[in-house]
A = this chain, B = another copy of it.
Amino acid sequence: MTESAPESEYPPISEQLDDIDAARTEGRRKMDWAAQHMPILEHVGEEFEADQPFEGERIGMAMHVEAKTAILVETLADGGAEVAVTGCNPLSTHDDVSAALDTHENITSYAKREVDDEEYYAAIEAVIGHEPTITVDDGMDLVAAIHEDYPELIDSIVGGCEETTTGVHRLRAMAEDGALEYPVFAVNDTPMKRLFDNVHGTGESSLASIAMTTNLSWAGKDVVVAGYGYCGKGVAKKAAGQNANVIVTEVEPRRALEAHMEGYDVMPMAEAAEVGDVFLTTTGNRDVIVREHFERMNDGVLLANAGHFDIEIDLEALDDLAADRYEARDGVEAYELDDGRRLNVIAEGRLVNLAAPVSLGHPVEVMDQSFGVQAACVRELVENGDEYEPGVHDVPDDLDREIAEIKLTADGVEFDSLSETQREYMGSWQHGT
């Protein structure tokens, strides 16, 4: 240990729980289920276990510690790394999973649910106290804390990975200011992630969460999807696949045209407000559904957000407008207007596939894909980290490609490869003209 690392006395989860054995058993059960459906990490893990690529590395992680993430943590630890992990959100940790992780000889887990601010940052310091050579963030907490408070550690850091859009955005801002002093992979931005996570993952889990929160069905419903980016495409496609009549609102004409050409109704929100049965925001912007829209809605509509922050639906304005407000059902807040119309907000306008009481977060397979890329990026840092300048880096194309291949193999899907002649032809295909 260098002098600069924090000397933390914050205890790992095992020293914080009462019935640690029961927690470990339950945590392991959750992890086993996830592992059973994460063939990419299974494959990568077998390779890591055989090759021990992380021998001598210390990996610091700040992630949502639940079953799926735990499999990534374990996979890295099984590859020889010493891993210290904590949460990246005061509410998202599953203590039992954290406890199960902490039993691994290479892993120390500080993640605990419902910690206060002080504890939250103490746990981050505790992770940094392990003097990580690699950081893995979901929201750049570790990168930020290290740069601000422990810059002396940076020299021994090979690089990092960042999972979220928000984190990547802030890292890019840091990099532009010349303030980011080691290379970080923007795992969030890979093409595969968009397809898996945004289109299929968000689409399916948002709709299932709403159905299982409300006991309502989709067939014949007018479903208004605000925004036709990747998430919006996913929600629209899956809703149409449940026989909803999809209405899209957009501000970008080319996306609006794309939705129109797909066969969806496209109209302004002010008009959609009058006909929609369910409204799903996916824009990443604020004030997408506001007072003038609430005023036009029918009795009994559902309002949910599958975008990012809880500012897409203007709940403050809705509260102002409402004569009454009550919990209509677990996960459903009814706002009753003067004339008796009830507008039902699901999961307080927060991300519906994460925040509804029945929600389980992203599907396992989605995280397998994303964490497979994480694992490959960590390996890349160990093997070729010195080739990357400080700054934000796209995931190298061949890593992303490799993960796709592993997934296909795991799913039993074979595909073709280019013949020599074909490769040559593609390389210089003006031959044919």
The CA-CA distance from A357 to B216 in the complex, in Å, is 17
The CA-CA distance from A276 to B34 in the complex, in Å, is 19
Contact among B243, B405, B415 with A261 in the assembled complex (CB-CB below 8 Å): B243
Cβ of B258 and Cβ of A195 under 8 Å apart? yes
A416 within 8 A of B: yes
Q: Which of A5-13, A116-124, A267-275 contacts B (4 or more CB under 8 A)?
A: A267-275
B-chain residues with CB within 8 Å of residue A32 when the two chains form the complex: 328
Closest to A432 in B: B309
Q: Which of A47-55, A77-85, A244-252 contacts B (4 or more CB under 8 A)?
A: A244-252
Contact among B261, B266, B308, B404 with A254 in the assembled complex (CB-CB below 8 Å): B404
Closest to A249 in B: B416
B-chain residues with CB within 8 Å of residue A173 when the two chains form the complex: 430
Q: When each residue 198-222 of chain A gets 1 if its CB lies under 8 Å from chain B and 0 otherwise, what string results? A: 0011001101110110111111100
Cβ of B413 and Cβ of A256 under 8 Å apart? yes
The CA-CA distance from A139 to B433 in the complex, in Å, is 9
Cβ of A401 and Cβ of B254 under 8 Å apart? yes
Cβ of B286 and Cβ of A251 under 8 Å apart? no
A260 within 8 A of B: yes
Cβ of A286 and Cβ of B421 under 8 Å apart? yes
The CA-CA distance from A284 to B201 in the complex, in Å, is 31
Q: Which of A102-110, A317-325, A361-369 contacts B (4 or more CB under 8 A)?
A: A361-369
A residues in contact (CB < 8 Å) with B: 29-30, 32-34, 36-37, 139, 166, 169-170, 173, 191-192, 195-196, 200-201, 204-205, 207-209, 211-212, 214-220, 237-238, 240-246, 249-254, 256-258, 260-269, 271, 275, 284-287, 299-300, 308-309, 311, 327-329, 332, 342, 358, 360-361, 363-366, 400-401, 404-405, 407-408, 411-419, 421-422, 425-426, 429-430, 432-433
A-B contact pairs, 15 of them (CB 8 A): A33-B328, A33-B329, A195-B258, A207-B208, A208-B212, A215-B360, A216-B363, A216-B364, A243-B262, A250-B415, A250-B416, A257-B413, A266-B415, A287-B419, A311-B432
B-chain residues with CB within 8 Å of residue A245 when the two chains form the complex: 263-265
Cβ of A408 and Cβ of B256 under 8 Å apart? yes
Cβ of B217 and Cβ of A365 under 8 Å apart? yes
Known pairs A309-B432, A421-B286; A261 contacts B169 (CB<8 A): no
B-chain residues with CB within 8 Å of residue A414 when the two chains form the complex: 266-268, 271
Cβ of A287 and Cβ of B416 under 8 Å apart? no
The CA-CA distance from A216 to B214 in the complex, in Å, is 20
Cβ of B196 and Cβ of A404 under 8 Å apart? no
Smallest CB separation, A208 vs chain B (Å) = 4
Known pairs A401-B253, A413-B266; A215 contacts B364 (CB<8 A): yes
